[in-house]
Amino acid sequence: MSGDQAVPIRLGIVGIGKIARDQHLPAIAASPEFTLVAAASRHATLEGVPNFDSVEDMLTAGPPLDAVSICTPPGGRDRIALAAIMAGKHVMIEKPPGATVAEVLALQHAAKARGVTLFASWHSREAAGVDAARSCLANRTISGATIEWCEDIRVWHPGQDWILDSGGFGVFDPGINALSIATAILPDDLIVESGTIMVPANRASPISARIVMRLGRDAPVMLHLDFLKTGEQIWTMEIVTDSGTVRLTEGGKRLFLNDVEQLLREEAGEYPRLYAQFATLVRTQRSDVDLRPLQLVADVFLVTHRGQAPAFAF
Ligand code: NAP
């Protein structure tokens, strides 16, 4: 891979599912930085590029490539990423970056040793209001915050049984998006203190959660996650400060200060911004892996009570 800006990065994509089709493929197609040269998925295929059943086949029998973007669910993703890293490819991974904290640390070490870029992407951090919210909060004293991420699993994750399986994160699959924003905009460390996660009788991962966190020394941060929310969907974060309230809605797209909506710069969109970042990281030979949201989810699983919810079927 040369550092020549004019040469597009040759990319292979792994895991052709909902997010690959909805977001990755359009963002890659629109980017002058990348050219898609191959795809690997166990069942799905893409038109216009050679398809392979596994990342290993793509790496050994496919066309030359510089980078791999991995869009599979978190369980087992580290083996895919490791295969690409050991083959000397730059790697971008979907959120959550792995099923465990330790496996992502191992990937970080492997990428460093191999001299390739590892980009653990957090798409929600690219939402239009996030940077502005961070600037707003930088010099304020925060007395508390409420985060509500309530969506309908049947609408947003239709038939995705893996999400409620062990290692699928359950409602923390969207919930970790909220935590990725919170860790990016709040000017102090978040600590998980207590809470309850509710797991359907026939599943392994939570379908709802109420979590109490602490920001810094004593500001309470309440997190409410619900995967069974029908009707209006809620992805909202409200932060109370010494000079008013900062509210992000629609997953970080809209920002309100004391109930007044702020005019935000026209943004390229979350995934185009992610791919632009990946290209910059590759070209400047850097990695970007922030484990804090994953660590918080792991801590939730360590300190909360587990209750049983009714059995769930799609
Ligand atoms: P998905 O629709 O289930 O697609 C994932 C694809 O990965 C599957 O179609 C499957 O294709 C492949 N795969 C490989 N190993 C798999 C395994 N063990 N179990 C299931 N599928 C496997 O899931 P998705 O919604 O695209 O989510 C993938 C990742 O993107 C997740 O980490 C999720 O958090 C993230 N994400 C999702 C959304 C969203 O709105 N859905 C938004 C942002 C981020 P083959 O059968 O062909 O291998």
- pTM for the predicted model, two decimal places: 0.96
| Reported CATH class of domain 127-265+298-309 | alpha beta
Q: How far is CA 218 from CA 191, 196, 211, in A?
A: 10, 20, 15
DSSP labels, 68-102: EEE-S-STTHHHHHHHHHHTT-EEEEPSS--SSHH
Residue 174 near ligand 1, beta carbon < 6 Å: no
CA of 112 to the centre of ligand 1 (A): 26
**Mean pLDDT estimate for the chain:** 96
Q: What is the pLDDT of residue 6?
A: 66
- Structural domain boundaries of the chain? 9-120, 127-265+298-309
DSSP labels, 2-71: ---TTSPEEEEEE--SHHIIIIIHHHHHH-TTEEEEEEE-SS---TTS-EESSHHHHHHHS---SEEEE-
pLDDT of 1 above 80: no
Per the annotation, the verdict on 18 as an active-site residue is no
Q: What is the pLDDT of residue 178?
A: 98
Residue 155 near ligand 1, beta carbon < 6 Å: no
Residue 69 near ligand 1, beta carbon < 6 Å: no
Distant-in-sequence, close-in-space partners of 114: CB < 8 Å, separation ≥ 6:
85, 86, 88
Q: What is the pLDDT of residue 268?
A: 83
Residue 16 near ligand 1, beta carbon < 6 Å: yes
User: Percentage of residues in the chain with pLDDT exceeding 90?
Assistant: 96
Tens of pLDDT, residues 172-223: 999 999 999 999 999 999 999 999 999 999 999 999 999 999 999 999 999 9
Tens of pLDDT, residues 47-63: 999 999 999 999 999 99
Atom from ligand 1 closest to the CA of residue 96: 32
The architecture in CATH of the region 9-120 reads 3-Layer(aba) Sandwich (3.40)
Q: Whose CA is nearest to atom 12 of ligand 1?
A: 15
- Candidates 270, 271, 250; CA nearest to 261 is 250
Q: What is the pLDDT of residue 3?
A: 47
Tokens of 288: 């970007």
